[in-house]
Amino acid sequence: MTDQMQHITLTSRPSGAPTADNFALETAPIPTPGAGEVLVRVHYMSLDPYMRGRMDDAKSYAAPVPIGGTMEGGGVGEVIASTADGFAVGDMVLGMFGWTTHAVANPSTLRKLDPQIAPVTTALGVLGMPGFTGWHGLMEYGRPKEGETLVVAAATGPVGSMVGQLAKALGLRTVGIAGGAEKCALATDTFGFDACIDHRAHDTARSLRAAIKDAAPTGVDIYFENVGGKVLEAVMPLMNPHGRIPICGMISWYNAGGLGAGADTALSAPALWRPILVNFLSVNGFIISNHWDRFPAFLTEVGPKVQSGEIKVVEDIAQGLENAPKAFMGLLEGKNVGKQIVKLMA
Amino acid sequence: MTDQMQHITLTSRPSGAPTADNFALETAPIPTPGAGEVLVRVHYMSLDPYMRGRMDDAKSYAAPVPIGGTMEGGGVGEVIASTADGFAVGDMVLGMFGWTTHAVANPSTLRKLDPQIAPVTTALGVLGMPGFTGWHGLMEYGRPKEGETLVVAAATGPVGSMVGQLAKALGLRTVGIAGGAEKCALATDTFGFDACIDHRAHDTARSLRAAIKDAAPTGVDIYFENVGGKVLEAVMPLMNPHGRIPICGMISWYNAGGLGAGADTALSAPALWRPILVNFLSVNGFIISNHWDRFPAFLTEVGPKVQSGEIKVVEDIAQGLENAPKAFMGLLEGKNVGKQIVKLMA
């Protein structure tokens, strides 16, 4: 049985929120690496909102996971066999292994990690794809200026907390939005947001808008968009002239059945489009995988800030591959606190 | 009676499309210019879609016209009295005189015109605010590249025709949208669009979309947005990755009661927002009055093309101030062919 691995497959496509029935834990023989490949035993697996999109069969920037296919995702693991130049048994590597305990990989798709510089889990969060997303979106499309006001939701997540901390250090007023008092305390006390609003305390976009307005008395210059829905509806009328909206996600709509009717929002298309015109807004969608050429610059700038503790790291670590679906469903409901990771090795 | 002038005032705010009742033709004494001012007799007056927005009492980039106030707008006129340095009786000038036969103006708000270079009416259209809007929006936010495809509505209007002609000269495939067969013939035969679609032949956004898709087989890289509504709904799913959407107007929504319910479109907010993310779109609203610093560059580049006939000029000239409201209502319904102007002098 030592030659067996476990992985989680997509058995059916969700309509709305995913359920346990959409996933299956399966066992398979550990694959053998071919010439020039490595075999990795995964230690930590990342869970991210974008994975919800891959479960749908809708046109998007990436192909959907096929039915019966292993769920996609990034992970950190240890090389346990290698015929590849430059990769030795024991090396720690980052790669897109999927929801699995073992994977064969082409070394060109791997990044070697130095555990002396930062804990390897940071390669999945603050120094990985989510942190890079926050940095690139803020700096490239947000164009922050001292004295401005920034709003970001999912403020304690790995994207939102990066955006808030970078913006604060640049002299912006930072207003976070998060679900629940515990997360709001984390946003202000640990991540240094000037204010945090608990969206669960506001049933309507109108009520949420009034709270944001109080926290952003001079209006909103940058709305870093990662949720859509009620928060977008609340913020849009508060945007200042020449405001910027980088869009990296819209998690509140991932569960709404794709392009569907937008049933969870009263926001009309004109109410969304007209402020872009009358306030001269700049709205840019992006996916970070188009921008890996900027990753070295990100690591150079942000890596030392993580090492020094200037940028804080908060992780939420679930135990065991079998618990990944539950942790993922919790992530989509905002139950995690900090970057959601699954630990696969005891 | 030679000391009397005429002007048109806003008597009430329209709900939906303006009607004749919203306007009044009034008579008043011709004002006397103060020290350093000029008195202008208006020869030609411009009618533009943005004026519909000024009739509403909604938050926008400009203050509304007050009830009882003269309708705003640009015009070309002749200086008939002057105590201002550099302005002599007989000079032709461009200014924001409003819907009026005479106006006193501060010379800092005027631009002197040389009728030898181009007919003075071009200062209201192809070489004025609309042409400048098309040029700036296309070059700054559209970022056209040879071989790409551009879609623009109101294709025979002064903005759309400028956008189409500039893009065509840069090697793009240009697809115009216009109302009626006559305008479509003008778009292709005079303005050189590769294709033009009559939106009146398509009751639904879906049908219009199919026609655009046929005319833009490789998708849409630039959608120059000046109408909103059905055209936007049709185009959005056709946008290519990394597409650009400059927004200078949304005339189809101006008559929908401002921020109201968007009753003329089935487009939901997620259906508008999600393509921005998944296709990495860049959406920029702008009002040209923020960009006058670029006007000299525009005149330098486009002026010679108008003189040479490379950029075509089509004007629709109504006769007499008293007919301005009717011409304006016609403009909002797309009844004009080419740049709508009102001639005030026999």
- Sign of the four-CA dihedral A197, A203, A204, A207: negative
For A4, A165, A310, the CA distances from A103, given in Å and listed in that order, are 12, 35, 35
Q: Span A183-210, mean pLDDT?
A: 95
Cα–Cα dist A338/A334, whole Å: 10
pLDDT(B261) > 50: no
- Name the architecture of domain B129-289: 3-Layer(aba) Sandwich (3.40)
Q: What is the mean pLDDT of chain A?
A: 92
CA dist A107 and A123 (Å) reads: 17
DSSP state letters, A88-111: -TT-EEEE---SBSEEEE-GGG-E
Q: Output B346 or A62, whichever has higher pLDDT.
A: A62
pTM of the model: 0.88
% of chain B with per-residue pLDDT over 90: 82
Percent of chain A past pLDDT 70, that is, above it, reads: 94
| A217 vs A149: CA distance, rounded Å | 9
Task: Identify the CA nearest to B226 among candidates B52, B49, B63.
Answer: B49
Residues of A with CB under 8 A from a CB of B: 59-61, 228, 232-233, 241, 247-250, 253, 256, 259-262, 265, 267-287, 290
ipTM of the predicted structure?
0.86
The pLDDT mean for chain B works out to 92
**Region of residue A6 (left: phi > 0; alpha: psi -120 to 50; beta: else):** beta
Q: Which two tokens stand for residue B120?
A: 């003075």
Q: Where are the domains of chain B?
A: 4-125+313-343, 129-289
Q: Are B61 and A280 within 8 A, CB to CB?
A: yes
List, for residues A265-283, the tens digit of each pLDDT value.
Answer: 567 788 889 899 999 999 9
Task: Supply the pLDDT for residue B63.
Answer: 85
pLDDT at residue A346 in the model = 63
Q: Domain B4-125+313-343 sits in which CATH superfamily?
A: Medium-chain alcohol dehydrogenases, catalytic domain (3.90.180.10)
Closest CA to A14 of A329, A334, A342, A341: A329
Q: Where on the phi/psi map is residue A251: left (φ > 0), alpha (ψ -120 to 50), or beta? A: alpha
Residue at A160: amino acid letter:
G
B269/A190: higher pLDDT: A190
Identify the residue with better confidence: A90 or A60: A90
Q: Are B233 and B205 in contact (CB under 8 A)?
A: yes
- For the cut 50, the answer to whether the pLDDT of residue B51 exceeds it is yes
Distance CA B288, CA B293 (A): 10
pLDDT of residue B263: 39
B98-110 pLDDT, tens digit per residue, is 999 999 999 999 9
Mean pLDDT of A103-113: 95
Q: Which of A268, A279, A281 would best serve as a mutation to test chain B binding (most B beta carbons within 10 A)?
A: A268
Per residue in B185-220, pLDDT tens? 999 999 999 999 999 999 889 999 999 999 999 999
Are A303 and A135 within 8 A, CB to CB? no
The one-letter amino acid at A110: L
Determine if residue B147 is left, alpha or beta; phi over 0 gives left, psi from -120 to 50 gives alpha, anything else beta.
left
Which stretches of chain B sit within 8 Å of chain A by CB? 59-61, 228, 232-233, 241, 247-250, 253, 256, 258-262, 265, 267-287, 290
Q: Mutate which of B273, B276, B286, B288 to test chain A, going by most A C-beta atoms within 10 A?
A: B273
Give percent of chain B with pLDDT exceeding 70.
94
Q: Does the structure show a pLDDT above 70 at A29?
A: yes
Q: Say how far apart CA B283 and CA B248 lie, in whole Å.
A: 11
pLDDT band at B249 (very low <50, low <70, confident <90, very high): confident
Q: What is the DSSP letter of A66?
A: P
Answer whether B30's CB lies under 8 Å from B102's CB.
Answer: yes
Number of residues assigned to chain A = 346
Element housing B202 (H / E): none
Q: Which residues contact A77 (CB under 8 A, 6 or more apart)?
A: A40, A41, A42, A43, A44, A92, A93, A95, A97, A103
Phi-psi region of B48 (alpha: psi -120 to 50; beta: other; left: phi over 0): beta
CA torsion angle B231 B234 B235 B236 (round to 10): 110
Q: Which residues contact A116 (CB under 8 A, 6 or more apart)?
A: none
Residue A2 pLDDT: 60
Which of B141, B143, B259, B278 best tests the A interface by mutation, with the highest count of A CBs <10 A?
A: B278
pLDDT of residue B259: 32
Non-local (6+) Cβ contacts of A1 within 8 A are: none
Q: Report whether A124 contacts A132 (CB < 8 A).
A: no
Average pLDDT over residues B222-229: 93
pLDDT classification of B266: cutoffs 50, 70, 90? low
Confidence of residue B126 (pLDDT cuts 50, 70, 90): very high
Mean pLDDT, rounded, for B301-327: 96
pLDDT, mean of residues B139-147:
98
CA quadruple A262, A268, A271, A276: dihedral, nearest 10: 50
**Strand, helix or coil at B53?**
helix
Q: Do B270 and A280 touch (CB under 8 A)?
A: no
Q: If pLDDT is split at 50, 70 and 90, which confidence band does A3 have?
A: confident
Structure tokens, A208: 């949420």
* Statement: residue B94 has pLDDT above 60: yes
Predicted local confidence at residue B327, as pLDDT: 97
Which pLDDT value is given to residue B1? Answer: 44
| pLDDT of B257 strictly over 60 | no
| Whole-number Å distance between alpha carbons of B345 and B198 | 35
- Domain A4-126+313-343, architecture per CATH: Alpha-Beta Complex (3.90)
Task: Pick the residue from chain A with its C-alpha nearest to B263.
Answer: A268
Least confident window among A186-200, A205-219, A254-268: A254-268
Q: Cβ distance A97 to A287 under 8 Å?
A: no
The answer to whether B127 and B118 are in contact (CB under 8 A) is yes
Of the pLDDT bands very low, low, confident and very high (cuts 50, 70, 90), residue A59 is low
Provide mean pLDDT across the span B173-180.
Answer: 96
pLDDT on residue A268: 79
pLDDT value at residue B117: 82
The arithmetic mean of pLDDT across residues A236-243, rounded, is 97
Question: In this model, does residue A263 exceed pLDDT 90?
Answer: no
Find where tokens 């990436």 sit: A62
Q: Which two structure tokens, joined as six digits, stand for A231? A: 């928060």
Outline where DSSP puts E strands in A30-88: 38-46, 75-82
**pLDDT level of residue B297 (50, 70, 90 thresholds):** very high
pLDDT recorded at residue B212: 98
